[in-house]
Structure formats: structure tokens, C-alpha cells
Structure 1
């Protein structure tokens, strides 16, 4: 749902707020502060030896905290993983996070839905701000410094959300040393990509710094008639106003054109009847998404113990284009009925936050206190024109498709707008009870208002909700390299729309608990193992009295365990990956069978990527490695338990050579050219995985 903002956003900007630029000063005089994003950022590919070691985290507490001190499983994808895997989209990099799976991606048009620990989520943040409001294009990795995946509820810090997990993307920040990196990438299916990453000082005294990232890319596909292109511009400027005060302006423009493609079709629950390249839309069914983002951040240190962080976030965008999607199949087993659509979505969001971080002691206890205030305004409009397959089938033959038919008339119209206002207060205290025991407690209270209007039916609903998202966690560290932890947390998410009686839906609520252990091994290898149980209620489901409407009557739960590892086995050998066992099922529903599995959730999945780089001698800078990605069988249609997506195992390989300011790389994904299916919405919309892909890249630094 989306629309350009009609309400003024100035209240949110005036409120301002803190973001992942948290001040992390631990000692020294006033002004000796370290900003989180700056501390995590790198100058470029050639400034340091590649490493996956991640000793400190931001997203789990909004303060710089050692990994072992956070009572929650948080998986981190450092910048080097994106380089090693030649990942141009965040989604590709997430393949190496255990328990994260692929969900609906709206025909490859926008931010994809992911599942984390069994629950689909679109809670994707950038520097602490939600960028999943509206239909932003899938995030590009060019200006990404690292990706942190929080497992379990994160509402105590980030507000209304799903209890499975949250993804927070941290972007590259300005650096003092001047540098320029130019990159080019070519690959299978006509892929071509040019990038630039540059930074340095804009003033003689070094107080004004900049960073600029840009992308021009061609996004062809192995799918017939499917292609696209992309432009990304992401400049950042920071100004050290005084030794104690810093302000940062970060902008991003993303334009993405992509052919709408819902994938292949299963006939009588059977896949593979046609080539994986076959396309069932219409050539020229393109959509264009454009979004513009501005983040302004202010950090001020009153002294070494108290810091104020203030920031604002503006994001506007649109998604306009055509779609042709399969809606059914005739009894002959080959004639597909299709619906033709035109969509026009626009949106605007403004978020302001203010956070105060303080460190103090009460007797023997040391505290790190976070006080936060957030205000959000979001407006969207969605216009959709549709044909009627029953009257105008717009049919195509599964085995002998003929394209270019006359387009059917639009006979149905959907038009709706949504206006959201949300104000939140949150508090968190990290308490060091002793050198071995650490306690974390917190809560966020959201005051939510939503007005939803169906313009065609001339129906309007309004809802006001108050949601509480508490959390508590405890860490015990009997040894310097070992931590045992447990946590409990709740989540809250309002549902959009109304039921057959024109009443707003009750909000989704979630509850979760987790126990786990964190171990640091060798020269920087972190291993985390956790067992979890999550419940979610008031999940929208079809109203059995009227299938055109929904009711908030469902309940689901997910339980299991996951193991993740990231870091250095030796200085030369780095690894990332893990394994997840997830048992996710319906526990109450008016339509679905109790006990039925959740869509696209495998019970077993895992991945492992390992890279060895020579550090000395004639072969210094040469790296070689490979990865394995395995996903088990999954339910492919919520209304049809007989249809399942088969499991798959994919093997990847890579090699590169770094010499001074040059890097040459080659990646081969899906070496054995396996046919597999990544995701599905139902048996008519099944996402086909890529065949073998070869990518060659080169980066030069100046």
C-alpha cells in the first residue's frame, strides 16, 4: 500500500531521533566519541585484510555492545561476505544466515518478504529506520557495510514488528583517508554492473567528510522476456561541528525497472513439466519503482557518560507498471487463465527519534541506560485495475505459449489509502550485576492510529491501539570465552483493513522465549546455539462465512533450534554459516487445519561458506573457497497441503586475487546446475531458482 504524503511531516522531523550512529565513548575527555556507523565502516576493499570477525554489535541494544553480552542470537553478515559472494542484492547474502528463508517478493518488484525462525517478516531496517513502508526496491549491497539479523522479537527497540526476527542494514559512512574504488561485474544471462565507492575530506581541517556510492546495472535473467535495470546514488556527508557534536546527512536514490514475473506453475501439484525458463506473463510487463531517502543524524556528547542522539528519516516512492499473472488452469491440464493488471502505488513516510544514552553506577551495579522517543507519519495510496479471467480468460498454453494477445479490458478497480500515525516511548537498561552476570530489561509502548479507506466501496475504518513490547534477558559468563543466556519478549503489530462487519482487525500479538550459548573459539570464531519457542495470535485468515473477507482468528507457533558460526578459524581461513531446525505450524484457524505447516518454511535448512586466503609468499592475496546451501521440503500452498516444494542442495565456488589496489574475482553459483524452487505463493506462483551462474568481477582502487 502506498502513496505520496499528503500530511506535513515537519512534526516528525522536529522530533528528530537517534539511529545506528550511537555514540560509543567508553572513556577519556569530552569529545573523544566514536560513532557506531563510523566505527564499523571501512575505507574500501583494499584497506585491510579480509575478515569475518565481528566482536561488537549495534542492532540488538542500540549501543555498542560486545557480542557475548547480548542475551539474544544476532547473526551478522560483514562487508567481506558481500564481496566474497559477489552479492548484488541483500537477499543473496542472507542465504548464509541460518533460519532465514525466502517468501513472496511481489514478482521480483520490491523489498522481498523473508521468514525468520518460521515467520514471514518485512521488518527490514536501514540504520535503525524501517524501509519496508511502501514498495521500496530490493536493497542493493553497494552502500551496505554490514547486515545484522536479530532472531526473535525486536519490538522493545523497533516497535510494531513480527516476532520471528528483524533485519537491520548498516550503510557505509564517510572516512578521512581519500580513496576511490571503481568496480565492474559481468556474468551469465547478460548481467552487467558498474560501481563506484569514493570518500575523503571536503575541508582542509578534515571536519567535513564525504562518502559516495553509485551503481549502474543491467539485471537480465534466465527467464524468457524477463530483464531489468537499476540506478543507485547514495551520497553521505558528515560535519564534525565541535569535538562533541557531529551531524550527518545521508541520502539515497534508487530506481529499479523489472519485468513482473510470478514464476512457474504446478499442474496437479507437479513441477518441472515445462522448462524453468518459460515465462507466463507478457513481454513488456515492466514495473518501475523509484524511491528517495534522506536521513539526518545529530550526535552530541555532554561528557564521557551521557550522549544525545537525534535523527530524522524521510522516504517517498512509487511503484507503477503492468502485471500478468496466472489465476487458474482448465481441466485440459494445459490452458492457463490469466489476469491483467495495472498498479500505481505511491507512499511517503517520516520518522523522528530522540535517544539519550547514559552510563552510571548504583552501588555495585553498572548501568547503560537508553531512553527513546519516536514519532512516525506514513501515508500511502494503492490504485489497482484488473481484468476478470472468468469473462476474459487471456489464456495461454502451458506447453506452447503464444504471446502478444490483445490485452483484456479492465473490469475491476481497487483503490485504497492508508494514513498511520505512531508515537512511541521506550526504555532499556543494561545492568552489569557482576563480571559474570549481565541483565537486560526494556519495554516500548506504541500509541498507534490508522485510518484505512476503501475508495471504491466508500468504506472507512479507523483504529487506535496501544501496544506494549517488553523484553528481558540474562547472560552468565563463567569463562571469558563462554556465555549462557536466556530471554523472553513480546511483540505487537496492528492489522490493516476490516472484516465483513466493517470492524478493524484485532492486532497481531507475539510471545517468545529463547535459551542459548555463545562460544568464542580459535582466533575470532564465534559460535551461537539457541533453542526457541514463538507464538503469534490474531493472524489474518479467510472468513469461513464469506471468503471475500478475512478475520483475525488464526494462531501459529514456531519452535526449534539453530546454530550459527562466523569469524576466523585461523588468520587465513574464515567461515560463515549454520543450521536451523524449525517446526512451524497452525495452532488455531477457521479454515486451515490445526497442525498444518506454514508456507515456505522447511524443517531443515543450513549453509556454510569457507574462504582460505594466502597471507604471505608468492601467492599472497590469492583466495579460494566454496559454499553449500541446503533447504528441505516446504509447503507450497497454504490451501493445499499436498503441494510441496522439493528440497535442494546447491554448491558454490569462488576464487580471487588481490594485488595492491586491484582485485580480480570469479564466482560460480549452483555449480551442478540443479533445478530448484526458491519460494511460492501458491501452486500458480512458484519462484524458480537460478541455473548455474558465472560472475567475473574486477575492482580497482586509487
Structure 2
């Protein structure tokens, strides 16, 4: 028996010794830079790992024998190495991976493994993947790491990190270099494809890999677009390594948030990858009566049957329940006369929205030089709205004077739907002509948007008629006998005025059956466009040229679904020329000229009372700049000088009989300088910063007083900085701290030149603690409790920013 025990003990000892060998090492690039988050694997026995942020890796628990080790990283050629291990051996390897530009994706298929504030490549600037340093145009971006570190959940919170970008209102509504774009303008992008949102609520960011803005007119790439730039939201794509995380947040304004992100391979050969992002939010606001209940389900699949073919599928479903906030109202010409928390809503109000976005894409390589890509995206939006809102003016007294402490009110009850389709196809061909390298693209785009029949709205507004059987839209003291008057001789409103001196009394539940309503349909609209384009990315030594031209035809069905329906067509040729010169491996300089356009038809304006027809917006931009990398390519800096001109911009006509009436002005000009900085100063010190000087004003107008006026809600100067430092040693090991600030100077408002918004400077901070797979994070925003406004139309419709607030997040990765 003792012999048997001894035999088993020796066998166990030998077995444990036999599996004590390991392979360790480091992955570097040809420039001796660490290759982070690369995949290292052995097929038999099946073992795998990924390199850390220094490029180091380790595979343990191996027996003596021969192995083939595979090394792969995005942007590098897959490498394999045959090794022999002896018992107890620690085999150390240094693997140099060769960059493979042929692996640049035509469509973004697999996820980004880097974990920093820096992004090196983009699809937005050239239709296919291109190194940002080689793109002859400025791009601002925020990676998911920066978004997470700041505790941001909405795109509107993210754009403060971008030079030249600011909020116009607190909806999905921003300005880029002084030109406004919003979620309802059908020029925003998701993964480089045209889509839209409901405008009223900012898109959530938990399923996004990054948010980026391509500056300047981009019509040569995407068709009709704003001259300031386009905003592109890039979704998280599947990874070929399992990576899962969950987080829970709570904080100011009764915020509760739960997020989850799961990804990895579904098959042993990694030909099918998945990613699933989930989000739930239940939060109130510093604004009276406001709340947000959101749910997000965002699955993604990547099918890679061979190294020549890939297929992607993405779905984003968002369900939102909230109240539509029309902004803060103050006493006439007295900005600080009411609290920034005051809203004009009633407890009856609600806004229910549903959005789905489905994307499929195919990428196939016929040869090493020729490939084909096709992508299709469909967006569906459903709105169900009840709101008490201001009529954008103060209440009328019987003598026709205004009551500066009361807002005239109206009620909207509305249901409508919206559908957007976008198809993008192109061939890519790589060729050489002598010393010139060509990356040619020829493509076709098609897009359409429809607001179908069936949308409708009930409106209660104005003042009651003398018989108290209906209402008159506005009060005219010259016809006082036509109105129902109270004991003081004042007209009786159809919807009670909002009393700014006693807001709580005006926010109570209302008996909405007592209002008089008028019904009208939400006019159905339909537009379509198609574009054909060619582009060549030419490389000649240190010089690169990006040259393209696009023909676009836009068709709007005016009076859609009515007997008078007719097609209104507009078309445009759009050139694009850009040059990039590599001064040295760390510095590129560039110059570019681009043109843009944007139709101004019934479909794009979505307002039957706006007037028209109007000529399309026409724009052009000249931009020069430089792009530089520092600290061994860890920190990236872009400096851009630009000048944009646009004509035919629509401004409000200020017609009291029709407050929605628009009029075109002659010309606007935007010029300035932008600086963006993103990346790492050291391995544990990250930074993101931006600065903008933007002079954007009207240069030609039929109204002389308007010339020289700064465009609305656009500060002449703005900037931000955010920096994080992680402690690696000592008593503070595993801790991190971050601090940031952003500022904006004085801004004019869109409805008046006399009223302005003051500048502001905000300070934010965060603390982090990471231990093993757990993360604790505390964010504090607007630490000094600054009162400020992100934008406004006038003193009746102001959009205040949040006071001091905090958010605590607990996370776990596995």
C-alpha cells in the first residue's frame, strides 16, 4: 500500500512538473513600438491570450514539446513561429510584427482593441479606412475610453471635447464651425451611413466605439450635408477575444443606470463574432417635471467565412419615455429673473419615442487589388407626444400690451412616424502607374426618407372667441369684441397662461378636455437622392493626393400624396481636392478644397408654413493644417486653419402673422483656427484637449443691420481639456485621478440680436479605483456650480446647463 501511495505521489509530482513550462515575450512593431491587445494563440493544446498595453504576453501551463504560436493584430500581418519547449523552461520571445496596409478594411467589421484616447484610423474621411494623419481634412473624435472616463452617456455630452463644435440647444442639436445640424436634418451618419434621430433627445452613447466629426462640407462623400461638417457615430464591433463588462451607476437627479457589453467568438475558428450592448436608464433632471427612461438593445454580428469575404449585421433598438422640454422662460429682458430649473410643462405631458436602426454590410475581395463593398441601413422612428408649451411670446393684456411675467401657452398632441433608407456600394481598386500608387474608388449611393400618411396633430392655442365655442390664434385689441373677456377686460386664453412668478401653480395636472382644439395632419413627405462618384487616393513618395468628384440628384415630391403632387429636382457636381505632404515620420501638412450643398425643400424643412420654394444651400471650404505625433506616436495633434462660405441660408422672417415663415439671406462666412490633441503623454497619463477661434457672421444681406452679425449660439472662442493620471506604484497604486474644464465665450441667440448669452467656464473631476476586475469611478461635474446656458432662441426659450452633479459607477469586467 505504501508503494502505491509513493507511486501516485511521484506520478502527480511528475505531472505537475510536466506542465510547468511557459512562453513569455513582447510584441513590437517595425518601429519598435509596443503592439497592445494583440492575439497570441496555440491551437494544440488550445490556449490563447492577449498582449497588455506594453505589448507583453504570457502563456503558461505547457508541457515539453513542439508548438506553433500564432500572433495577430489589426493592421499587421499574421505571424507564426515554431518553438520547442523543454521541461520547466520559460521561453522568452520578442516578436516584430510587420504592418500590412492591405488589411485596411473597406467596411468597419471587427472592433478596435486599443484602450486609449487616441484613434489612428477612420472610415469617415475617404469612404474606406485611412490613417488620420494622411487625411487632408480635420477630424475631431472621442473614443469610448474618453467617453467612459467622463461618465458621459449622451452624444451631446461628448461633443464638448471637439474643437469647433458646440450645442445649439439641449436637444440633438449642435453647431459645427457655426453651422447648425440636428437629429432631424437627415445629414447625420451612423457608421458612415445616413440616418436620423427624433431631434428632441440626444442619442445614447453606451453602444458607441467613438463619436467623430469630419470638418467642412462633405457632400463630395455623402451627398447633401452641412458646410460645417458631419457627425458620425461608430458602433462597437465584435472582437475575436472574449471580453465582457457590466456597470451600474447612480447619482444626482435620482439617476439609475445599468450597462452591459458582451463580445467574443461564437465559433472555434472565429469565423462568427458577436457583440451585445445593453443599456437601461431611469433618471430625473434638474429641470422641473423632467425625466428620462431609456432602454437600448444593440446586437452586432460579424461573419468572416474567409479572408476574402466578410458580412456585418447591426441592430440598435432604443425605447424612450420622457417629457419634451421647451426650455426656460424669463421675465422680459431679465436673464436671471427665473430659476434655470423652471420648465413650462404640465404633469400631463409625455414624449414616447421608439427608434430602430438596422445595418447590413458586405465586403468581398476578388483579388488582392480589387474589392467590392455594399452597405444598407434602415431607420424607423415613432413619436407619441403630449405637451404644454409656450407660444414663443408673452401673454397679451386687453389693451394689447404684453404681460412680462406670463407666457402665452399652447398644447400639442401629436403622433407621427419616419423612415429612412440608405444604400451605399462601391468598388475599390489598387494600382500603380510608374512611381504613383493609386487607391481608386467608384461608387453609387441611394437614399430616401418618408414621413408616411397618418401622422396628425391636435393644437390648442390662442384666445377664446366671444361665444366661447372655439379660439382665435392671436389677440388683436382692435377687434376686442370678437374675444371672450374676463372681469378685468383681458382676453381669456384657450390654454391658461404660465405664471412665471408662481410656476408650481401652472405645472399642475390640467383638465385637457376643457381646451378647444383644431386638428391638422402632419403632412406626409418623401425625398430621394442618388449619387455617383469617383475618388483616387494617389501616393507619390512623401506626397499624397485625395481627388474626387460626385454627381448628386435630389428629388422631392412636393405635396406628397395629394392631388397636386409633383417632383422637384435639384442636382449638383461636387469636387474635392486634398494634398498631404509628409515632412518627417512625425509631421504631415495638408491643404484641401471642397464644395457642398443642401436642398431646402418641403421634405428637408419639414415645415409647411416656412414659405418657399427656396434655392439650395451652396458652400465651399478652403482648409490648411498640420498633423503631428509625439511621445513615440502616443499623442496626436491636429492644427487647422479654415474658411467656409455659404449662401442662401434661411433665417426667420419675424412675420407676426406667420411666425414660421423663413427668408434667405445673401451669404455667410466662417473662418478660424482649431487645435485638437488626443492620446498619452506617458503610459499612465492620458489627455484630450481642444481650442477654437471661430469668426462666423453674415457678410451679405438685404437687411444692412444684419451684416457682421455673429451666427447664433456660436462662441468666438471655446475650448476644453480633460486629463487622467493612473498611479502605478506606491500607496496610491491602482488609483487614478482626472480633471477637466471647458469654456465658451458670449453668444448671440437665433431670434434676436439684442439678447445674448454670457460666456462660462466649467470645472469637472473624477476619481478611479481599479482592483483586479473591479472598477469604482466617481465623476463630479460643474464643481463650482456655475449658472450657464448652452444655447437659446431668445429669453422665452433658453437652454440652461446642469448645476453641480455627481455620478458613482461600479463596474466589473470578465
* TM-score exceeds 0.5: yes
Q: Match for residue 378 of structure 2? A: 314
- Change in Cα spacing, 1:526 to 1:138, as seen in structure 2 (3 Å) is same
Q: Match for residue 179 of structure 2? A: 119
Q: Match for residue 299 of structure 1? A: 363
Matches within 5 A, 1:159-174: 159-174=223-238
1:396 aligns with 2:501: no
Q: Match for residue 613 of structure 2? A: 504
Q: Is the contact made by 1:134 and 1:346 (CA closer than 8 Å) also made in structure 2? A: no
- Change in Cα spacing, 1:350 to 1:643, as seen in structure 2 (3 Å) is same
Q: Match for residue 8 of structure 1? A: none
Aligned length: 666
2: CA distance between counterparts of 1:53 and 1:632? 28
1:654 aligns with 2:763: no
Q: Is the contact made by 2:416 and 2:522 (CA closer than 8 Å) also made in structure 1? A: no
Structure 2 SS opposite 1:68: helix
Q: Give the one of 707, 711, 727 matched to 1:598.
A: 711
Q: Match for residue 670 of structure 1? A: 782
Matches within 5 A, 1:122-137: 122=182, 123-132=187-196, 135=199, 137=201
Structure 2 SS opposite 1:416: coil
* Greater relative CO (CA pairs within 8 A, separation 6+): 1
Q: Give the one of 579, 594, 597 matched to 1:474.
A: 579
Q: Is the contact made by 2:544 and 2:579 (CA closer than 8 Å) also made in structure 1? A: yes
1:158 aligns with 2:197: no
1:612 aligns with 2:725: yes
Deviations 1:123-163 (A, max 9, x none): 32111112226658532111101112111111111111011
Q: Match for residue 272 of structure 2? A: 208
Structure 1 SS opposite 2:682: coil
2: CA distance between counterparts of 1:537 and 1:177? 51
Q: Match for residue 519 of structure 1? A: 628
- Change in Cα spacing, 1:700 to 1:36, as seen in structure 2 (3 Å) is farther
Q: Match for residue 451 of structure 1? A: 557
1:385 aligns with 2:462: no
Q: Is the contact made by 2:106 and 2:128 (CA closer than 8 Å) also made in structure 1? A: no
Q: Give the one of 518, 533, 543 matched to 2:643.
A: 533
- Change in Cα spacing, 1:674 to 1:663, as seen in structure 2 (3 Å) is same
1:624 aligns with 2:737: yes
Q: Give the one of 123, 126, 149 matched to 1:84.
A: 149
1:245 aligns with 2:355: no
Matches within 5 A, 1:316-335: 316-327=380-391, 328-330=393-395, 331-335=402-406
Q: Match for residue 38 of structure 2? A: none
Structure 2 SS opposite 1:37: coil
Q: Match for residue 283 of structure 2? A: 219
Q: Is the contact made by 1:297 and 1:311 (CA closer than 8 Å) also made in structure 2? A: yes
Q: Match for residue 58 of structure 1? A: 123
CA shift at 1:310, angstroms? 1.2
2: CA distance between counterparts of 1:384 and 1:205? 54
2: CA distance between counterparts of 1:696 and 1:690? 17
Q: Match for residue 33 of structure 2? A: none
Structure 2 SS opposite 1:444: strand
1: CA distance between counterparts of 2:731 and 2:271? 41
Q: Match for residue 432 of structure 2? A: 361
Q: Is the contact made by 1:544 and 1:590 (CA closer than 8 Å) also made in structure 2? A: no
CA shift at 1:203, angstroms? 2.4
- Change in Cα spacing, 1:29 to 1:156, as seen in structure 2 (3 Å) is closer
- Change in Cα spacing, 1:508 to 1:169, as seen in structure 2 (3 Å) is same
Q: Is the contact made by 2:456 and 2:519 (CA closer than 8 Å) also made in structure 1? A: no
Q: Match for residue 281 of structure 1? A: 345
Q: Give the one of 538, 541, 561 matched to 1:431.
A: 538
- Change in Cα spacing, 1:570 to 1:445, as seen in structure 2 (3 Å) is same
Q: Is the contact made by 2:551 and 2:571 (CA closer than 8 Å) also made in structure 1? A: yes
1: CA distance between counterparts of 2:413 and 2:655? 30
Q: Is the contact made by 1:30 and 1:304 (CA closer than 8 Å) also made in structure 2? A: no
Q: TM-score, normalised by structure 2?
A: 0.78
Deviations 1:483-532 (A, max 9, x none): 22111111011112299998632111111111111222224211111111
Deviations 1:556-596 (A, max 9, x none): 22111111111111222111121111111122334572222
- Change in Cα spacing, 1:479 to 1:504, as seen in structure 2 (3 Å) is same
Structure 2 SS opposite 1:368: strand
Deviations 1:183-217 (A, max 9, x none): 11111000111111111222233211111001111
2: CA distance between counterparts of 1:219 and 1:88? 12
2: CA distance between counterparts of 1:52 and 1:637? 34
Q: Match for residue 577 of structure 1? A: 689
2: CA distance between counterparts of 1:500 and 1:137? 24
2: CA distance between counterparts of 1:70 and 1:166? 15
Deviations 1:422-464 (A, max 9, x none): 11111111111222x1111112211111113288x98655311
2: CA distance between counterparts of 1:29 and 1:576? 29
Matches within 5 A, 1:95-110: 95-105=160-170, 108=171
Deviations 1:265-322 (A, max 9, x none): 1333221212221221212311111011111111111232222111111111111111
Q: Which aligned runs of 4 or more in structure 1 are off by greater than 4 angstroms?
A: 23-36, 133-137, 457-461, 498-503, 542-547
1: CA distance between counterparts of 2:548 and 2:643? 20
Structure 2 SS opposite 1:242: coil
Q: TM-score, normalised by structure 1?
A: 0.90
2: CA distance between counterparts of 1:164 and 1:92? 19
Q: Is the contact made by 1:651 and 1:669 (CA closer than 8 Å) also made in structure 2? A: yes
1:94 aligns with 2:159: yes
CA shift at 1:29, angstroms? 11
CA shift at 1:89, angstroms? 0.6
1: CA distance between counterparts of 2:212 and 2:612? 38
Deviations 1:94-146 (A, max 9, x none): 111111011145xx4xxx12101111113321111122266585321111011
